[in-house]
Homo-oligomer: A and B are copies of this chain.
Amino acid sequence: MKNLTNHSDGVGIAAVERDTGLPKDTLRVWERRYGFPQPLRDANGERVYPAAQVDKLRLIRRLLDQGLRPSRIVAASTEELAQLLEASPEAAPPAAPAGWDTLLAFMQRQDGAALQRALQQSLLKQGLQRFLADTLTPLTDAVGQAWLRGELSVAGEHLYTEQVHNVLRGAIASQGGHGGSPSILLTTFPNELHSLGLLMAEAMFAPEGARCTSLGTQTPLADIEHAATQGGIDVVALSFSAAYPPRQAVEGLTTLRARLPAGIALWAGGQAVREQQRKLPGIRVIADLHDGIAALAEWRAAHPA
C-alpha cells in the first residue's frame, strides 16, 4: 500500500485531491493537456506536488468556481491568475474584521482561552445571529486567508475552529427550546468534514424556533434518507465547503432529492453549491446565513400550522 502523505518536499496526489477538491483523474488529465500541474516524481515514479503548485491549484479552483474555463487559466502564470482574481466580481479582499490583529495574535501563540473569551464577548455584545453574520463569517474568511498566506499555522486554524465550536455549542444549548417547527436535520455528505458551516447553520436556525437535529459530518446518503424518514423530519439541510467538488455535490443532491419523499424539503448551503441553483430543481440553495432565515420563512408560509 502506498503512502498518501508528505515526502520531504511535497505531497501525494490523494492529499492534493483532499485539499483542493480536484479529483485525481482531473489532476492527471490537466497535466497531460495543459502542462500544469507538473509534479515531481519520487523514486517509484509517483507524483509529488510541491506546496507552491498546490497553492496555485487552489487559486485555479477559486477562479473555476467563478465560471472561468480551464483552458484559459490552468496554463496561465500565477501573476495572470492573481490579476484575474482581482478583476473578478468577488474581488474585494474584505477589510480585516474588527480586532483582527489581537485575535490573530491569540491564534499564533496558541492561547485558546483568550480567543474563546474574545469570541464570547462579541457574542454577548451582538447577540447570536448578528455575531454569526457580522463577526464569525468574515473572521472565518480571514483565518482561511491568513492560513493561505502562511501567517497562520494549521494548529492556529484548528485552535480557532475548536473555540468557535465551544462558543457556538454553548450558545445553541442555551437557546434551549427543542420544541418548534420545522424539524431540520443537518449534516454533510461523506468526504465533507468541515463542521463549521453546519454548526453556524444550526446556530442560525435554532433561535428562530426550528427543531434542529445535527448528525455531524459525513453521513452516507442512504443513512440521511433513513434518518429523515424515521425521525419525522421536515427539512434536510446539507452543508458544503469550498473544497467540495461541485459536481459531486450536484450529483449527490439530485440523487437524494429523488430518494426523499416529496414532503421533505431539501436545502443546500455553502461555497460549493452557491452558483448551482439552476442545476438543482426541487432543492433550495441557501446563499448565506440571511438567506437561511428567508428559506425558513418561505417554508413556514407554505406550511401553516
Closest to A187 in B: B158
Is the C-beta of A208 less than 8 angstroms from some C-beta in chain B? no
A11, A185, A255: which has the most chain B beta carbons within 10 Å? A255
- Which secondary structure characterizes the binding site on chain A? helix
What number of copies of this chain does the assembly contain?
2
Residue A216 is within 8 A (CB to CB) of chain B in the complex: yes
Given contacts A155-B227, A169-B170, contact A255 B15 (CB under 8 A): yes
Flag whether A173 is at the interface (Cβ < 8 A).
Answer: yes
Contact A18 B220 (CB under 8 A): yes
A220-B166 CB under 8 A given contacts A5-B254, A190-B18, A230-B108: no
Name the residue of chain B whose CB is nearest to the CB of A259. Answer: B6
One of B111, B165, B178, B187 near A231 (C-beta < 8 A): B111
Measured in the bound complex, the distance between the Cα atoms of B271 and A29 in whole Å is 34
Q: Could you tell me if B169 and A230 are in contact, using CB atoms closer than 8 angstroms?
A: no
Given A110-B230, A170-B169, check contact A224 B162 (CB 8 Å): no
Residue contact A214 to B18, C-beta cutoff 8 Å: no
Q: Find out whether the CB atom of A19 lies under 8 angstroms from the CB atom of B219.
A: no
Closest to A190 in B: B18
Interchain CB contact under 8 A, A215 and B108: no
Contact between chains at B191 and A227 (CB < 8 Å): no
**How many of A's residues come within 8 Å of B, CB to CB?**
60
Once the chains bind, are A190 and B231 in contact (CB under 8 Å)?
no
Question: Shortest distance in angstroms between A287's beta carbon and chain B's nearest beta carbon?
Answer: 25
CB-defined contacts of A6 to chain B, threshold 8 Å: 220, 255, 258
Least CB separation from A212: chain B residue: B112
A213 touches B159 (CB 8 A): yes
A109: Cβ under 8 A from any B Cβ = yes
Q: Are B14 and A248 touching (Cβ within 8 A)?
A: yes
Q: Mark A155-190, 1 if CB is under 8 A from B, else 0.
A: 110110110011001100100001000000101011
Chain B nearest CB, measured from A9 CB (Å): 13
- Could you tell me if A19 and B221 are in contact, using CB atoms closer than 8 angstroms? yes
Residues of B within 8 A of A111 (CB): 231
Please determine whether A189 and B18 come into contact, CB atoms closer than 8 angstroms. yes
Given contacts A155-B223, A226-B155, contact A213 B18 (CB under 8 A): no
For window 252-276 of A, CB contacts with B under 8 Å fall at 252, 254-255, 258
Q: Cβ of A231 and Cβ of B110 under 8 Å apart?
A: yes
In angstroms, Cα B15 to Cα A187, docked, is 18
A113 nearest CB neighbor, chain B only: B178
Give 4 nearest A-B pairs by CB, closest first: A110-B231, A155-B227, A158-B215, A113-B178
* Other A-B pairs, 16, CB within 8 Å; known A155-B223, A155-B230: A1-B247, A5-B255, A15-B255, A18-B190, A18-B221, A108-B230, A110-B231, A111-B231, A112-B214, A153-B223, A154-B220, A154-B223, A155-B224, A155-B226, A165-B216, A166-B169
